[in-house]
Amino acid sequence: MATILDGKAIRDEIAKDLSSKIQNLKSQPKLAIIQIGDVPESNTYIGQKIKFGQSVGAIVDHIKLPEDVTMEDVVGKIEDLNSDTNTHGIIVQLPIPQNLDKAAIIESITPEKDVDGLHSVNVKKLLDNDPSGYIPATTKGVITMLEHYNVTISGKNAVVIGRSALVGKPTALALLNHDATVTVCHSQTKDLPKMTQAADIIISAVGSPGLVTKKHVKPGQVVVDVGTTIVDGKLKGDVAFEEVEKVVEFISPVPGGAGPLTVASLFQNLLKAYEGQNA
Site for ligand NAP in 87-126 (CB under 6 A): none
Contact call for residue 209 and ligand NAP (CB under 6 A)? no
Contact call for residue 7 and ligand NAP (CB under 6 A)? no
C-alpha span between 279 and 275 (Å, rounded):
6
Nearest residue (CB) to ligand NAP, 87 versus 138? 138
Q: With H, G, I as helix, E, B as strand and everything else as coil, classify residue 252.
A: coil
Nearest residue (CB) to ligand NAP, 98 versus 188? 188
In whole angstroms, the minimum distance from the beta carbon of 39 to ligand NAP comes to 12
Stretch that binds ligand NAP, among 12-20, 68-76, 162-170, 172-180 (CB under 6 A): 162-170
* 5 DSSP assignment: -
Nearest residue (CB) to ligand NAP, 9 versus 86? 9
Q: How far is CA 206 from CA 103, 179, 180, in A?
A: 22, 23, 21
3-state secondary structure 28-82: CCEEEEEEECCCHHHHHHHHHHHHHHHHCCCEEEEEEECCCCCHHHHHHHHHHHH
Q: Annotated catalytic residue: which of 49, 125, 236, 272?
A: 49
Q: Of the candidates 22, 91, 182, 205, which one interacts with ligand NAP according to CB under 6 A?
A: 205
C-alpha span between 97 and 77 (Å, rounded):
17
C-alpha span between 51 and 38 (Å, rounded):
19
Active site residue 49: yes
Taking CB atoms, the residue at the shortest distance from ligand NAP is 207
In whole angstroms, the minimum distance from the beta carbon of 231 to ligand NAP comes to 11
Q: x/- binding map, residues 164-203, to ligand NAP, per CB under 6 A?
A: x-xxx----------------xxxxx--x-----------
Q: Shortest CA distance to 141 belongs to which of 16, 20, 259, 4?
A: 259
Report whether 170 contacts 136 (CB < 8 A). Answer: yes
- Crossing angle (nearest 10°) for helices 258-277 and 7-23: 20
Q: Annotated catalytic residue: which of 35, 113, 116, 221?
A: 116
Contact call for residue 226 and ligand NAP (CB under 6 A)? yes
* Catalytic annotation, residues: 49, 93, 116
